[in-house]
Amino acid sequence: MVATLDLNLTLFCPTDDTPVNEVIFNLDDDDEDHSFVKEADDPSVEELSRISKENMKLKESLSVAWDMYNSLNAQVKKLMHDKEELECSPKKRKFEETVQQSLWKMPNDKLPRSGTKIVYVPVDPSDKSLVVKDGYQWRKYGQKVTRDNPSPRAYYKCSFAPTCPVKKKVQRSMDDNGVVMVTYEGEHNHRSTMQEVRYALAHESEILSTSERRVDSPKLDEVLVEQMATYLSKDPNFTSELAAAISSKILEVETF
């Protein structure tokens, strides 16, 4: 599964005054005089030794980076799994039933327009912010206290506006302080961050199964890394732990 890179080949760069053919010949030919290798005071030998050590360090760094990538990959998959479980939870079903019931009782003229979706989301009652994590990025453009509810209503536009016309309103439920009512208007014309990550992960195995992975689809790696970075960098714990992990690994490599 690990994409191997032969760093020995790519990093070995002879100096301008050393013909390439000569260097390769001296390294490969066992029958000939090994003076090129044996001469300890030859600057080329020192250069080779230095590059070799550098090569080892780079391999180590690559290994560490790959381990971290796998670890992050596992965390993202776990989050996906948890989210799907939450979506199927009895609590969520109860909210959806409540919504259905309230819509059923609602007069026809007050029913939401087509393209409008109402979602009830459980939140921490002590948390006064009206932030609902739904996988999209939003820009708040207003807040009002409405007549029928003492809790303020927050107005958001999709961050991709005006390209994406979607708006949402977020207001704490009058009946249950642990629930916010989110009203979405319109349809997104782009993927959410979570959908981007899910897409990349769903196609990752196909790509990884081919030996020409990096040649065939370099863009997929870019999308995966970019989306994972965007998604995970939102978590302050993740960024601090990542920084700590990288710094400790760098120290390990330096003492190698």
Q: Residues in the site for DNA, rule: CB under 7 A? A: 129, 137-144, 146-148, 153-155, 159, 167, 169
Nearer to DNA, 53 or 140 (CB): 140
Nearer to DNA, 165 or 178 (CB): 165
Nearer to DNA, 38 or 113 (CB): 113
Nearer to DNA, 138 or 184 (CB): 138
Nearest approach in angstroms of CB 149 to DNA is 8
Nearest approach in angstroms of CB 161 to DNA is 9
Which residue in the block uniquely carries the two structure tokens 């002879």?
14
Q: What is the secondary structure of 71-130 as a DSSP string?
A: HHHHHHHHHHHHHHHHHTSHHHHHHHHHHHHHHHHS-GGGSPPTTEEEEEEE--TT----
What residues contact residue 5 under an 8 Å CB cut-off, 6+ apart?
Answer: 62
Nearer to DNA, 23 or 119 (CB): 119
Task: Yes or no: say if 167 and 187 are a contact pair by the CB < 8 Å rule.
Answer: no
Which DSSP state fits 13?
A: -
Nearest approach in angstroms of CB 112 to DNA is 10
How far apart CA 60 and CA 253 sit, in angstroms, is 7
Nearest approach in angstroms of CB 228 to DNA is 18
CB neighbourhood size of 123 (10 A): 20
Nearest approach in angstroms of CB 177 to DNA is 19
